[in-house]
């Protein structure tokens, strides 16, 4: 087992590794076999304050550092990840129950976002804005917000921590990161260790491993951070947004989804099956962009369903360390129980289980359900696991209505032989992202990532990241003398 679970089972504050001073420990378990990986004494409100104050102090000098010098840290971080690839893979497998395929996918994206951060350090640009006043020069500067608080989730913790931490740092900010309690190493102290080895000055990145039962809203209410970047459920996101608004902070919210993959009658059925299976079952379906619903034109429903179920049956569920495993464990027993409840509710409401997977501890085998009644809440909520609903439709108009009939609006996909037909379909869907002839699970460093409705507020990636983690400052210069009315 990786030494990271012993060496990194601490808080990282002001450039120092230190234990928390809370009265209880967060126990980090392997979701596959229940092995205790680490025991971490939680951070208190005082440690949260220490972390934010350290970031505030360190940021002043960092924000004034030449952007070309800042980017060297991210180049070195890439080299550290290359050197530690196997160890990081072990952490993802053990702490998340991620398969080797999933670990490779996550590491690939982390590298892509770090490469973008190298460039992001040089991205902010100022402007000269015309003035109606003679002799007036309006300068618009793009400056760091100061300190950013980052709260990351358990499903892609390494990626989704780095995705906010790296650009916030590249743009000249200090950062305090609070990882999810189920993934304190992959989502927290591992990130700190990589940047420490990459030469990031102490105090700029701090990691507090704690729980709201201990600190309440202290992480988001604290006066130092100007932006809170949160990835997680819409329920918690609503609370984060409310507290941020009450404290005049900006919030960037990447929340849940209920994506649909739509198969029109002229689609390549075999290809659509492949896309749909990946879109639903990657990382056990614990992905905000996952295709909870697969909509199929009734004229091809029988053929698609037969091929889809046959492919899902071949997915191996089991030990994530086995390279042949596609479906590893879900993150904890509560999640496993909730998924069993979803399947039973669907059947009670009249659905047919074309595939009814069993649950053993945290291993949840895939379930494929059809005939879920249109009134069912299951079709409108996020299902975070390997359960999928097949929904037939008659014509595009009905498909659009069904896809939009959910409070969420994150991602989605449509398959058709006519690309422009697909684009026209995509334009009618209330989502932040939609894909033609592909899967629903995508993230790229330059393309704005985010959702509509309950799927979030704001965007990350590329120029939208600059907008999220910097602010504009107007400085005017009057050449000559102004005239005042009195």
Of these residues, 288, 301, 365, 396, which one is catalytic? 288
d(CA 437, CA 397): 19
At residue 451, φ and ψ (nearest 5 deg) are: -125, 175
Number of neighbours of residue 355 by Cβ within 10 angstroms: 17
Helix axes 67-83, 100-120, angle to 10 degrees: 160
d(CA 109, CA 445): 8
Tokens 């684009």, located at residue: 423
Of these residues, 90, 196, 254, 382, which one is catalytic? 254
Q: CB of 146 within 8 A of CB of 226?
A: yes
CB under 8 Å to 73, separation ≥6 — which residues? 169, 195, 198, 199, 200
Dihedral sign computed on CA atoms, order 303, 305, 307, 308: positive
Chain centre to alpha carbon of residue 89: 18
The verdict on whether 288 is a catalytic residue reads yes
d(CA 222, CA 226): 9
CB under 8 Å to 235, separation ≥6 — which residues? none
Choose among 5, 32, 89: nearest CA to 330: 32
CB under 8 Å to 289, separation ≥6 — which residues? 257, 259, 279, 410, 411, 433, 440, 441, 442, 443
The verdict on whether 244 is a catalytic residue reads no
By three-state DSSP, how is residue 194 classified?
Answer: helix
Strands (E), 15-135: 16-18, 25-29, 36-41, 127-129
| Residues annotated as part of the active site | 254, 288
């Amino acid at each position: 087992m990786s030494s990271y679970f012993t060496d990194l089972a601490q808080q990282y504050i002001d450039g120092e590794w230190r234990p928390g001073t809370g009265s209880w420990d967060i126990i980090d378990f392997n979701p596959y076999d229940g092995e205790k990986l680490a025991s971490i004494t939680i951070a208190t409100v005082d440690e949260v304050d220490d972390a934010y104050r350290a970031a505030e102090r360190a940021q002043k000098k960092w924000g004034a550092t030449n952007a070309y010098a800042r980017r060297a840290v991210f180049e070195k971080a890439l080299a550290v990840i290359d050197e530690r690839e196997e160890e990081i893979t072990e952490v993802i497998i053990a702490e998340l129950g991620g398969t080797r395929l999933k670990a490779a996918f996550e590491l690939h994206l982390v590298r892509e976002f770090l490469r973008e951060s190298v460039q992001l350090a040089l991205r902010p640009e100022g402007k000269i804005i015309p003035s109606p006043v003679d002799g007036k020069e309006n300068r618009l500067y793009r400056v760091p917000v100061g300190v950013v608080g980052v709260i990351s989730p358990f499903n892609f913790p390494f990626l989704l921590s780095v995705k906010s931490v790296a650009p916030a740092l590249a743009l000249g900010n200090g950062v305090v990161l609070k990882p999810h309690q189920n993934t304190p190493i992959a989502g927290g102290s591992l990130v700190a260790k990589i940047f420490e080895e990459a030469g990031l000055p102490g105090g700029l990145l701090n990691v507090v491993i704690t729980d709201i039962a201990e600190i309440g809203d202290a992480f988001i209410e604290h006066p130092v951070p100007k932006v809170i970047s949160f990835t997680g459920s819409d329920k918690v996101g609503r609370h984060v947004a409310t507290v941020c608004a009450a404290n005049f902070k900006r919030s960037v919210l990447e929340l849940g989804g209920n994506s649909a993959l739509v198969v029109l009658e002229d689609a390549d059925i075999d290809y659509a099956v492949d896309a749909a299976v990946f879109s639903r079952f990657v990382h056990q379906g614990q992905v905000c962009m996952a295709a909870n619903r697969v909509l199929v034109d009734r004229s091809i429903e029988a053929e698609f369903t037969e091929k889809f179920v046959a492919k899902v049956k071949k997915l191996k569920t089991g030990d994530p360390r086995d390279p042949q495993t596609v479906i590893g464990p879900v993150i904890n027993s509560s999640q496993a129980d909730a998924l069993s409840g979803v399947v039973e509710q669907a059947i009670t409401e009249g659905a047919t289980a074309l595939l009814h997977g069993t649950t053993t501890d945290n291993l949840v085998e895939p379930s494929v359900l059809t005939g879920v009644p249109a009134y069912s809440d299951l079709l409108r909520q996020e299902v975070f696991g390997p359960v999928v609903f097949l929904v037939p439709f008659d014509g595009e108009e009905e498909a659009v209505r069904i896809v939009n009939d959910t409070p969420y609006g994150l991602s989605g996909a449509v398959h058709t032989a006519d690309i422009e037909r697909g684009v026209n379909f995509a334009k009618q869907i209330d989502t932040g992202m939609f894909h033609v002839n592909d899967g629903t699970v995508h993230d790229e460093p330059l393309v704005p990532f985010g959702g509509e409705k309950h799927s979030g507020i704001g965007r990350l990636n590329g120029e939208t990241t600059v907008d999220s983690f910097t602010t504009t400052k107007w400085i005017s210069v009057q050449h000559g003398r102004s005239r005042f009315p009195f």
